[in-house]
């Protein structure tokens, strides 16, 4: 198993170091893994003048999976747009065909207080958001700025989904629902946008192959409300790229502990990019303060989704749960009465719990 390791920017390198230590426990026990490091985002720009340099492309294309820290930082804000760190992220998604973004929003019982929502509303929260990641208004053509036929300047983009794009993400979502509570909510704005009216039609058609899954449909504005009103009504949600961007971040924040949330972005052959849902936190970078658990849990998702190694995934997840139960907390999830630890100390604890 060849794993491309992309530490990225900001806290990326520190959290990645801890995730690799955890994976090294499995390697020492005989799991065949090879790590190859490469720069992405600002680090790619610094090393090769591009946020997704050819060097990194080659390594990622040859790897079975990619583990990413985080990208971005204020020092890159003045770069030309095509050179900015987030363009590296968009480029790697497109290059590797990572169309299925899985974003779990799970509340660890020990961290229930961290939520700004009342405990009874979020206790036990466990939503899986399936976001389409390589289509929609993110990649649609034509796009840009122009002077229109009335002589006015305008900015424009194209929202678009083909039948094949909707079918494959729907299959992923139904497949995941089958392994969970068998409830899938497809989010659209079919009352206004033809793109999502089309989306809805195709999802309904794919549903015929999954008679056991209870399919519902919700408008995106209502979904944004229902996530706050009663988030536990949801099991799996599936939606397009831009609505998924918004709703998955909203759902993450319901937990109050985004430093705990992993994500996976998969292609058609289950090759995946795994990364924490949080950002690069430039303010605390290099201070050994960051929470490495989301990256460690992303490594667990890698074991599950790309390497089909459920045992290894559960082992990592259980180690994280044990460490939380024992009261260890980085600053972002610290509460009085708990033991405050650094990024590397958190890594120590998870390694010990393995």
Q: d(Cα 276, Cα 15) in Å, to the nearest integer?
A: 10
Closer to ligand IPM by Cβ: residue 89 or 266: 89
Q: Which of 95, 126, 245, 348 is catalytic?
A: 245
Segment near ligand IPM (CB under 6 A); pick from 56-64, 86-94, 176-184, 315-323: 86-94
**Known catalytic residue: 183?**
no
CB 129 within 8 A of CB 298: no
Determine the 3-state secondary structure of 241 from DSSP. helix
Residue 77 in the binding site for ligand IPM (CB under 6 A):
no
Could you tell which of ligand IPM, a copy of itself, none binds residue 75, using a CB distance below 5 to 8 A set by kind? none
DSSP bridge partners of 265: 101, 273
CA-wise closest residue to 343 among 6, 104, 20, 23: 20
Could you tell which of ligand IPM, a copy of itself, none binds residue 163, using a CB distance below 5 to 8 A set by kind? a copy of itself
Among 116, 141, 150, 191, binds ligand IPM (CB under 6 A): 191
Residue 197 in the binding site for ligand IPM (CB under 6 A):
no
DSSP bridge partners of 3: 35, 65
| Helix or strand run (H / E) with residue 5 | strand 2-8
Which residues, 120 to 159, sit near ligand IPM by CB under 6 A?
A: none
Residue 225 in the binding site for ligand IPM (CB under 6 A):
no
* CA dist 343 → 11, 80, 146, 288 (Å): 10, 33, 48, 5
CB 214 within 8 A of CB 181: no
**Known catalytic residue: 249?**
yes
- CA 11 and chain centroid, separation: 17
**Known catalytic residue: 9?**
no
Output the smallest distance, CB 6 to ligand IPM, in A.
14
Closer to a copy of itself by Cβ: residue 154 or 310: 154
Q: Which of 46, 58, 205, 221 is catalytic?
A: 221
Whether 43 has a binding-site annotation, put simply, is no
Whether 337 has a binding-site annotation, put simply, is no
Whether 80 has a binding-site annotation, put simply, is yes
Which own/partner pairs from 154-160 qualify as long-range (CB within 8 Å, at least 24 positions apart)? 159/193, 159/195, 159/242, 160/135, 160/136, 160/195
CA-wise closest residue to 165 among 135, 145, 188: 135
- Where on the chain is the footprint of a copy of itself (CB under 8 A)? 81, 84, 86, 90, 116-118, 121, 137-138, 140, 143-145, 148, 152-164, 189, 191-199, 220-222, 224-225, 227-230, 242-243, 245-250, 252-254, 256, 258
Q: d(Cα 158, Cα 226) in Å, to the nearest integer?
A: 28
Whether 84 has a binding-site annotation, put simply, is yes
Q: Which of 9, 161, 189, 235 is catalytic?
A: 189
Residue 86 in the binding site for ligand IPM (CB under 6 A):
yes
Q: d(Cα 267, Cα 31) in Å, to the nearest integer?
A: 23
The binding site for Mg(2+) comprises 221, 245, 249
Residues forming contacts to ligand IPM in the complex (CB under 6 A) are 86, 89-90, 191-192, 221, 245
Which residues are annotated as catalytic? 138, 189, 221, 245, 249
């Amino acid at each position: 198993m060849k794993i491309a390791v992309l530490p990225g920017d900001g806290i990326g390198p520190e959290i990645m170091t801890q995730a690799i230590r955890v994976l090294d426990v499995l390697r020492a026990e005989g799991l065949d893994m090879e790590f190859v490091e490469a720069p992405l985002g600002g680090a790619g720009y610094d090393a090769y003048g591009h946020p997704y340099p050819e060097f990194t492309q080659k390594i990622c294309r040859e790897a079975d999976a990619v583990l990413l820290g985080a990208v971005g930082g204020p020092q890159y804000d003045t770069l030309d747009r095509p050179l900015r760190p987030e363009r590296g992220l968009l480029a790697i998604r497109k290059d590797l065909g990572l169309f299925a973004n899985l974003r779990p929003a799970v509340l660890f019982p020990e961290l229930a207080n961290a939520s700004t929502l009342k405990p009874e509303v979020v206790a036990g929260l466990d939503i899986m958001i399936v976001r389409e990641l390589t289509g929609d208004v993110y990649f649609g053509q034509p796009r840009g700025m122009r002077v229109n036929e009335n002589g006015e300047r305008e900015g424009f983009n194209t929202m678009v989904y083909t039948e094949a794009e909707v079918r494959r993400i729907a299959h992923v979502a139904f497949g995941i629902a089958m392994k969970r509570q068998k409830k899938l909510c497809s989010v659209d704005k079919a009352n206004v946008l033809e793109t999502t009216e089309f989306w809805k039609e195709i999802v309904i058609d794919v549903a015929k192959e999954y008679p056991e899954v209870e399919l519902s449909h919700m408008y995106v504005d209502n979904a944004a409300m229902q996530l706050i009103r009663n988030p536990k009504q949801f099991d799996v949600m599936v939606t397009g790229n831009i609505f998924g961007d918004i709703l998955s971040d909203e759902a993450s924040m319901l937990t109050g502990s985004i430093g705990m949330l992993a994500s996976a972005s998969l292609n058609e052959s289950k090759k995946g990019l795994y990364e924490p849902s949080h950002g690069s936190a430039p303010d605390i970078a290099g201070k050994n303060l960051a929470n490495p658990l989301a990256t460690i849990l992303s490594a667990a998702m890698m074991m599950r989704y790309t390497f089909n190694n459920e045992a290894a995934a559960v082992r990592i997840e259980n180690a994280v749960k044990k460490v939380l139960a024992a009261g260890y907390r980085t600053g972002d999830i610290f509460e009085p009465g708990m033991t405050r630890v650094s990024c590397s100390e958190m890594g120590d604890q998870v390694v010990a719990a393995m």
